[in-house]
Chains A and B, each alone.
Chain A
Amino acid sequence: MTRVGVVGIGHTVFGRRSDATVQELAFEAYREALADGDVDPSVIDASVIGSVPEYHKQRSLAGVIQEYLDLNPRPTWLTEVACASGSAAIRTAWLSIRAGVHDVVAVIGCQKMTELTTAEILALMGRVGDVQWESVFGTTFPGYYAMFAQRHKHEFGTTNDQLSLVAVKNHYYGARNDKALFRKEITVEKAQASDPVASPLNVYDCCANADGAVCLILAAEDRARDLSDRPVWLDGLGCATASMSVLRRPDLTGLPSAADAAQQAYDMAGVAAADIDVAGVHDCFTIAEIMAYEDLGFCAKGEGGAFIQDKASYIGGSSPVNVDGGLKAKGHPIGATGVSQAYEIVRQLRGDCGERQVPDADVGLTHNVGGIGQYCFVNLFRRD
């Protein structure tokens, strides 16, 4: 069966974009991806849009984007699995190419989160968990990850300093990424002085909402070699789920969906955790990155805190993670995030990352989580 290659990439700056609609953001990323790959729009067979509809006033987003990209009457569809919607778009594009239905597909992850008022955001925040048994007690996104953190601290001795060190690392790299929302380094002291959100997490343990769009153009192997002199191959995909309700998770120190998805992706690509040269993981909260180290096999269960303390996830360490700043410093336009992770990995494997370049990166991984691990997508990329 054909391999699937990435032949063009584009990425808006993440941040508050009060000047643009969501389709205008999508166009920015699309235009950059076409130019990056020197791809003519006529070769694109379809588009897949990854986004979370409830943040937009515009309903049925795929249609309005397809029109604005001037891709009618070619097919388009939307994928939605919360914060993993972008990786779901990549996966369905890959499937459509492997099925032989399409040869070249534009994947666009996009989100406009700042259209909503604070009141609307606070109302949405109350419905992130199981609304029947959990949201009635005011649970929130940070609240769930805080409960994972509390349990991780209890079982493994993980410390608040170790949580903050994840934010320090991601701000360090975000300060060197011109697409990032936050471009300033921080210290552990500054992180821990920020306002409490849900104990033990405070403001600097949490990523920020943002607007943004990212585009990848995927192509079947023969077309990819025509269209690009340096395609990056999407060689391993994993996808798994876990219960919506935290009440049905036996283990509250990791995401079972992430471990399952990683194993699938490793098996498909024929690699192991130790072969990953660079990774983008879903650090919606600092504890999420520590759990990801463990779920992906970069370190043993329970050793995630020591892993960041030892700087093993910095460039030069055993597994560089989120050297683009991660969700924490880049910002998290939820539908765009999975595609943004892939964008960074493609640039790393091309060797285009300048002072943030991981030397000799051959194999890269993305880990994109929806909700509190209800969905997880792991994708493996490889260069020729």
Chain B
Amino acid sequence: MFDWFGKVSYCPHTKVAGFARHLKDGRIMGSRCEACGEVAFPPRADCPACRHDAFAFVEMSGAGTVVTYTRIDAAPAGFEDVTPFTVGVIDLEETGRLLAWFGETIDEGDIRIGMPVQVVPRIFEDTEQIKVHYTLEQPGTGWVKTDSS
């Protein structure tokens, strides 16, 4: 199921595969260790703090601030049709960091380090298989949440 995540997937198998289903439902999930409560994003199955192996998904707000960014003009295989694109690294409000494309609500020329953004779940259109990702948008940008579980 994790191969749902991303335009090109290199990583079909992971203990946090459920992340992709939650993203399809409009939810951005981190992980919380069931032993010590450590929250991580990106989510991880094995707690870095206490090494416990049981975790639960916990929903993140998706609010964050831009740490750095770049416009990529020379892209790798599989991204030719979306090049150039601009990626940013953001600090999430709760904890952790996330890397994603900037979306349509933010003009490239307006991107600044330190600006607030909202992570918005996205489903790729025009593909036969399910493909999901997320983009960085203006705070206040809305989206639909569903519940398939």
Residues of A that sit less than 8 Å from B by CB: 119, 122-123, 125-127, 131-140, 142-143, 146-148, 150-151, 154, 195-201, 245-248, 252
Shortest Cβ distance from A199 into B: residue: B71
B99 touches A246 (CB 8 A): yes
Are the CB atoms of A136 and B70 closer together than 8 Å?
no
In the complex, the answer to whether A150 meets B87 with C-beta atoms within 8 Å is no
Residues of chain B within 8 A of A196, CB atoms compared: 71, 73-74
Q: Which residues of B sit under 8 angstroms from A131, Cβ to Cβ?
A: 10-11
A125 CA to B10 CA, complexed, in Å: 13
Complex: how many Å from CA A248 to CA B85?
23
Contact partner of B8 (CB less than 8 A), chosen from A132, A136, A246, A248, is A136
Q: How many contacts between A and B, using CB within 8 angstroms? A: 119
Can you report 29 residue pairs joining A to B where beta carbons are below 8 Å apart?
Answer: A122-B75, A127-B76, A131-B11, A132-B10, A133-B98, A133-B99, A134-B99, A135-B6, A136-B10, A136-B11, A136-B133, A137-B133, A138-B78, A139-B72, A139-B99, A140-B72, A140-B76, A143-B87, A147-B68, A154-B113, A196-B71, A196-B74, A198-B70, A198-B71, A199-B71, A246-B97, A247-B42, A247-B98, A252-B89
Minimum CB–CB distance from A244 to chain B (whole Å) comes to 12
Contact assessment for B76 and A198 in the assembled complex, using a CB-CB cutoff below 8 Å = no
- Alpha-carbon separation in the docked complex, A154 to B69 (Å): 11
A138 touches B113 (CB 8 A): no
**Interface magnitude class on chain B:** 35 or more
Decide: B72 and A252 in contact? CB cutoff 8 A.
Answer: no
A151 touches B67 (CB 8 A): yes
In the assembled complex, the Cα of A172 lies from the Cα of B96 at a distance in Å of 43
Give 7 new A-B contacts, CB below 8 A, not counting A133-B98, A138-B82: A122-B77, A126-B10, A136-B6, A139-B87, A146-B72, A200-B70, A201-B70
A215 to chain B, nearest CB (A): 33
Q: Within the assembled complex, what's the spacing in Å between the Cα atoms of A132 and B2?
A: 9
Given contacts A127-B10, A150-B69, whether A140 and B101 have CB atoms under 8 Å apart is no
Interface assignment of B100: CB less than 8 Å from any CB of chain A: yes
Which of chain B's residues have a CB closer than 8 A to the CB of A135?
Answer: 6, 8, 10, 76
Contact B74 A142 (CB under 8 A): yes
> Contact at A147–B8, with CB atoms within 8 Å?
no
Q: Given the interface contacts A151-B113, A247-B99, A252-B89, does A136 sit within 8 Å of B68 by beta carbon?
A: no
CB within 8 Å of A: which B38-87 residues: 42, 67-79, 82-83, 85, 87
In the complex with contacts A136-B5, A136-B9, A123-B76 CB distance below 8 A: yes
In whole angstroms, what is the CA distance A230 to B113 when docked? 52
| Beta-carbon contact of B76 and A247 below 8 Å | no
Q: How far is the CA of A140 from the CA of B80 in the complex (A)?
A: 13
- B102-140 residues with Cβ-Cβ distance < 8 A to A are 113, 133
Contact A126 B11 (CB under 8 A): no
Verify B73–A138 contact, CB threshold 8 A. Answer: no
Contact of A150 among B2, B68, B100 (CB under 8 A): B68
Instruction: For B16, give the chain A residue with the smallest CB separation.
Output: A132
Expressed in whole angstroms, the minimum distance between the Cβ of A139 and any Cβ of chain B is 6
Q: What is the bound-complex CA distance between A138 and B10, given in angstroms?
A: 11
Tell me the chain B residues, 7-27 only, with Cβ under 8 Å from chain A.
Answer: 7-11, 14
Q: What's the Cα separation between A245 and B83 when bound, in Å?
A: 23
Chain B residue numbers with a CB within 8 Å of A248 are 97
Residue pair A137, B99 in contact (C-beta under 8 Å):
yes
A286 CB to closest chain B CB (Å) equals 14
> Which of A119, A127, A150, A246 has the most chain B CB atoms closer than 10 A to its own CB?
A150
User: Complex formed: what's the CA distance from A48 to B72 in Å?
Assistant: 37
CB contact under 8 A between A138 and B133, given known A143-B70, A147-B70, A147-B89: no
Report if A197-B74 is in contact (Cβ < 8 Å); known contacts: A133-B42, A138-B85. Answer: yes
**Chain B residues within an 8 Å CB radius of A147:** 68-70, 87, 89
The 8 Å CB contact of A198, one of B74, B89, B96, is B74
A199: chain B residues at CB < 8 Å are 70-71, 73
Are B68 and A252 in contact (CB-based, < 8 A)?
A: yes
Q: Whose C-beta in chain A lies nearest to the C-beta of B78?
A: A126
Q: What are the residues of chain A within 8 A of B75 when measuring CB–CB? A: 122, 138, 140
Asked if residues A123 and B67 are in contact (CB atoms below 8 Å), the reply is no
Question: With A and B bound together, what is the CA distance between A127 and B11 in angstroms?
Answer: 11
Contact partners of A142 in chain B: CB under 8 A: 72, 74
In contact, A137 and B74 (Cβ under 8 angstroms):
no
Verify A137–B68 contact, CB threshold 8 A. no
Q: Which B residues touch A132, using CB under 8 A? A: 2, 10-11, 14, 42
Q: Which residue of B lies closest to A129 (CB)?
A: B99
Q: In the assembly, what is the distance between CA of A154 and CA of B97, in Å?
A: 19
